[in-house]
Structure 1
Amino acid sequence: MTMIGLDSAPRLRRGVRLTYDKTRETHVLLFPEGVLVPNQTAAAVLKLCDGTATVAQITAELGKNYDGVRADDVQNVLKRLEERRVVEWK
């Protein structure tokens, strides 16, 4: 497992796509092994996983829209997503 630092830049793995499901009225994460329905926090993080934004930048960007965003919370979300094999590190 990768050590997730503030300068780490996550991106969606090949074949993974975040989209909005109008029927379910929520974001869904499509990947070769199936479908995940991320919670609102995970979806907000996933939208910013472009391989160029670092964890520090993602935290700052989320802090513009949400109160109390902490880097360790973002790192924990990314760790869980990495365990599910939907994000990787550039």
Structure 2
Amino acid sequence: MIPRFPRGVRLHHDQARERWVVMAPERMFVPDETALEVLRLVDGARDLEDIIDALAAKFDAPREVIATDVRAMVDDLVARGAITP
């Protein structure tokens, strides 16, 4: 699976409020720090396994722990319409 932002959805840094938001038509949400780490890696080119590998390396954490958390988070982000598989 290669996660990507659907048409009209983007990750945006709100400089006035100094926070990252996911902007979509007629809605937005503020990702927590963990979701933000995943969303920053969503580029439409990396597949989910590449994202998991990058996060496991960045945080020096066991890949299987990162994989479980990232898959659950991606499922939630897909359900919210923030990303599409």
2:27 alignment partner in structure 1: 34
Aligned length: 82
TM-superposed deviation, 1:26: 1.6
2:51 is equivalent to residue 55 of structure 1:
no
In structure 2, stretches of 5+ residues that fail to align are: none
Query: Which protein is richer in helix relative to its size?
Result: 2
With normalisation by structure 1, the TM-score equals 0.81
CA offsets 1:44-78 (integer angstroms, 9 cap, x no match): 11111122211110011112322435111111111
How many percent identity over aligned positions?
A: 38
Counterpart position of 2:74: 78
TM-score (norm 2): 0.85
Report the Cα offset of residue 85 of structure 1: 0.9
CA distance in 2 between counterparts of 1:33 and 1:10 reads 22
The two structures, once aligned, show a CA RMSD in angstroms of 1.4
Q: Which has the higher strand share?
A: 1
State the alpha-carbon separation in 1 of the partners of residues 56 and 13 from structure 2: 22
Contact 2:9 2:23 in 1 (8 A): yes
